[in-house]
Structure 1
């Protein structure tokens, strides 16, 4: 009888070990899933660089937009599966430097700035530098910035702005001063990334919550317009977002509490 009990206990322990192994397996798979999308984003950035060196700017823009889609998916998957990790955050930032920092810098250099000599190299590097600084600041202040605002323009937004400019110049002739327009445009968006201008993320928007059907219809309309006439609509949409946020910030500056004044708040708490 005792032997039977001992054997039963051994069988139960073996079964529990197997069940724990199978229970842990899906968790490992879900951990790799968001990082897979992050790696796909990085791959899109790498492919965009290769295509830009060959003069295939339209294809480079399209594949970089695909990278932006992958970038928007990886974080949501991590939150849905409960697999957020510091490793994932750092891997995502490294991927963003390549896809939304390095790739657009190469694209704008080969497209506009080769004839500008060293000045063209400096302008392209300025965009990359500001993008890297933007990501470093985001990681440092990730627990301080309110979720409904971005501190400065996010680097994917700046990359989409570069894509929009390239696409619109493929469609329309900007004349002999096109390279100088591009230089001013790139410097403007580079500085926006390291600015303290609040850009709305719409994550906690009361209007979005109260008008979900209208917002969904608007999103579908925008997607259709982008699909039909992408060479113009990408530029129009990112310009409207950036200018809208800047105008709103100007007119609401007197009534809005400063969002990013943490140093003053820390000094008040210490005193």
Structure 2
């Protein structure tokens, strides 16, 4: 039948009430976008410390919206697409512009190219995740790994030169900052397996509830009282942990290949078996599954 925009059935479907639980995760995502855009404005005004705070706040909201959606059953395809757009703005465009207005502008076009490459790398990483999310050939152990550094982690680590400058250390040369920015951009679009923690159990034993509360409060207090120390140490430790994730993935892949070699042909799962199966990343970089209706 031809499409009739005035049909009663389509009108009823279009104006059907939407549950509030479907709106809450999207509101959180919009707040994250507001934080990222505000960070860009603050960087143009030279208020770099508050701009960095806004990026960290956006990363926190990015880690919350997907979990809230799953808790209250508010997943939607619209929310998944909005979340990808928010990640590109908050963890691709905003950090690149902050670095450009902070120091990379000293290199003129060279600094702008470095900032632009970082932003584009964030967008490419998100596009790759969306395209490979439903890959049926991924091995079971790959669920615990990202493909490349996730966008939120890339945004936090790429701002390391600013953290160190806020600690009173001499500002690095602009060329060194540009090279570091390009390095993080390369790690984001690389095939490097990175720990995701998706398969970790999130249940807390009853006897550990109070210690967990105290630890969380202690961490938040440290972040408020000593933000640049904490962000600097966290960024360095995260970068140093990347080889461990690569080694862990290689070990598990070797075990899976050995098990597949010893499995009889009639017991092997259907489908092509390739020793170079791609790693499929999650949703950021808290890169999370799509919020489907």
Moved more, 69-78 or 130-139: 69-78
Highest RCO, 1 vs 2 (Cα 8 Å, sep ≥ 6): 2
Equivalent pairs counted in the alignment come to: 238
> Which ranges of structure 2 fall in alignment gaps of 5 or more residues?
1-15, 258-269, 275-293
1:159 lines up with 2:150 in the alignment = no
Q: Which of 242, 246, 249 matches 1:245?
A: 242
Q: How many angstroms apart in 1 are the aligned matches of 2:88 and 2:24?
A: 20
> After the TM superposition, which segments of 4 or more aligned residues of structure 1 sit over 4 Å from their partners?
208-212, 217-221
Contact 1:164 1:232 (C-alpha < 8 Å) held by counterparts:
no
Which structure shows the bigger proportion of residues in helix conformation? Answer: 1
| Partner Cα distance (2:34, 2:125) in 1 | 21
Q: Deviations over 1:131-151 (max 9, x none)?
A: 000100111122346442211
TM superposition score normalised by structure 1: 0.78
Aligned counterpart for 1:148 among listed residues 144, 150, 170:
144
Corresponding residue number in structure 1 for 2:51: 60
Give the aligned partner of residue 131 of structure 1.
Answer: 122
RMSD over equivalenced CA pairs, Å: 2.8
CA distance in 1, matches of 2:27, 2:93: 20
Match of 2:223 among 216, 219, 226: 226
Change (3 A) 1:88 1:240: same
For residue 258 of structure 1, report the CA deviation from its aligned partner.
Answer: 7.2
Structure 1 Cα separation of the partners of residues 215 and 200 of structure 2: 15
Distance 1:254 1:162 in 2: 26
What is the deviation of 1:103? 0.7
Determine the structure 1 residue equivalent to 2:192: 197
For structure 1, list consecutive stretches of 5 or more residues without a partner in the other structure.
1-23
Contact 1:164 1:231 in 2 (8 A): no
SS in structure 2 opposite 1:268?
coil
Change (3 A) 1:36 1:179: same
Q: Deviations over 1:204-223 (max 9, x none)?
A: 236x7688949936655443
User: Greater Rg, structure 1 or structure 2?
Assistant: 1
2: CA distance, partners of 1:36 / 1:202? 26
